[in-house]
Copies of this chain bind each other. A is one copy, B any other.
Amino acid sequence: MLNAEVKRELTEILGSSYCKDDPQSLVTHSYDGTPMLQSLPELVIYPENTKQVSQVMKVLNHYKIPLIGRGSGTNLCGGTVPVEGGVVMVMHRMNQILEVDIENLTATVQPGLNTKKFSQHVEALGLFYPPDPSSMSISTLGGNIAECSGGLRGLKYGTTKDYVIGLEAVLANGEVIRTGGKLMKDVAGYDVTKLLVGSEGTLAIITEATLKLIPPPQYKKTMLAMYSDLYDAARTVSKIIESRMIPATLEFLDNATLQVVDDYAQLGLPREMEAILIIEQDGDKGSVERDIARITEICHSEQAKQVSVAGSLEEAEKLLTARRSAFTALARLKPTTILEDATVPRSKIADMVLEINRIAKKYNVQICTFGHAGDGNLHPTATTDVRDTDEIHRVEAAFAEIFEATIRLGGTITGEHGVGVVKAPFLEWKVGPAGIEIMKGIKHAFDPNNILNPGKIFAKESRKRVVIQRG
């Protein structure tokens, strides 16, 4: 119980300006990017350094009070909603780039640093940090690490996990550990670094990260291919990969998404197309030109109705920005937007889209689909209205059936959004009861009192999603 004594101890550590329990602060931190989910914290705190985080943790562990680490709350799995109350710890004050090491091609950063700001900073130094979640203009690196964020470049460059090589983290008991380092190889014991990436704030609080940087590609080219048949688009994806090419980006938008995005971004896309692919290749000029030429051929041979290569960087950027804004564009349609994250082996993309369409029809709900086709990572997105209880139930039933189809096709319930609250009831479908038990064992080893982001990843039978109205 967060009583006056606990508040006094926390205020002593943080100072009264960084320890807030006024209604505005509590309400502002009662939800995140996830629709239909809200729960009030008892306190919101803003630590300045690792020492404060450690001191806070000791107090909360002693009193067994939940601690929810939070960056900008852009996640879509309810990852930062304080479903069991407690303290929300916002990392925005710890937002420094501590070092960019040019000799080792690493950067050391604090968790509250904005992703885009960091990305641009290293770009100005002639370096490249590939992870580019669609929320990057708002999100923090700490949040990206906690959720193992992906993005449009995952196919060729991997996700956040592939770039985190060292961490400083505070354990539930307040102890500070350091993992990895400025090291391209490290097998000293279990890989705690990679275990913490994507652990959704349930194992430790990340207070510093060392990230791997790479030389940027020297050239890139973006193209668009449009299809009147979904299978043609999906076959194009398979053919490109089979032809031993890994594009930097290989994005898919279905007809419904296409229309909404075109309304929003005014691209003048042919709205009758069943599917479009946005394809980007980067690297050496010669190989990019060759790949784009070969991909163009493949698109044509797979019955693309229209294929065009962006004539300028601006035109290319416009296409990718349109794709990045798919969520925002869809959110304009109806008051409630539920963006999901089903991932299948990339050879199953067409089957999965057909399944999604079949299921949407069965439950009479509107689901648009777009996503990272090259990764097999699709984002079926329902546009609905929380006030229509009957429709919301149908949407939820449809998504459950979509996850079932994902698993059936050899996929997973989440490719980049995380489990959080939203996917917790489905986790066992992917990892099995023995997998859940092992994960619970890991959780217990790190956090025996279950104070770190409780209620996430592991489902309780009794959980109810709290539905609030939006828009």
Q: Which of A104, A375, A417 has the most CB of B within 10 A?
A: A104
A142 to chain B, nearest CB (A): 16
Is A121 among interface residues, defined by CB-CB distance under 8 A? no
Known: A181-B410, A184-B155, A435-B177. A103 touches B442 (CB 8 A): no
- Once the chains bind, are A376 and B184 in contact (CB under 8 Å)? yes
Q: How far is the CA of A288 from the CA of B260 in the complex (A)?
A: 44
Q: A412 near B183 (CB under 8 angstroms)?
A: yes
Complex: chain B residue closest to A290, CB-CB = B284
Residue on B nearest A437 in the bound complex, by CB: B175
A150 to B103, CA, bound (A): 22
A347 cross-chain contacts in B, Cβ below 8 A: 101, 103-104
| A245 in contact with B432 (CB, 8 Å) | no
Copies in the complex: 2
Contact-size category for A: 35 or more
User: Does A283 sit at the interface, judged by CB under 8 A?
Assistant: yes
A198 contacts across to B, CB distance below 8 A: 187, 190-191
Could you say which of B104, B286, B438, B442 contacts A171, with CB atoms under 8 Å apart? B438
Which of B287, B423, B445 makes the CB contact (< 8 A) with A444? B445
Contact with B along A98-109 (1 / 0, CB 8 A): 000111111000
User: How many angstroms from the CA of A175 to the CA of B434 in the assembled complex?
Assistant: 7
- Known contacts A177-B434, A412-B181; A186/B446 CB under 8 A: no
Give every chain B residue within 8 A of A4 (Cβ-Cβ): none
A373 to chain B, nearest CB (A): 11
- Minimum Cβ distance to chain B for residue A212 (Å): 10
Report 9 cross-chain contacts, Cβ distance below 8 Å, ordered by A residue.
A101-B345, A183-B345, A184-B375, A185-B343, A188-B419, A188-B430, A441-B445, A441-B446, A442-B442
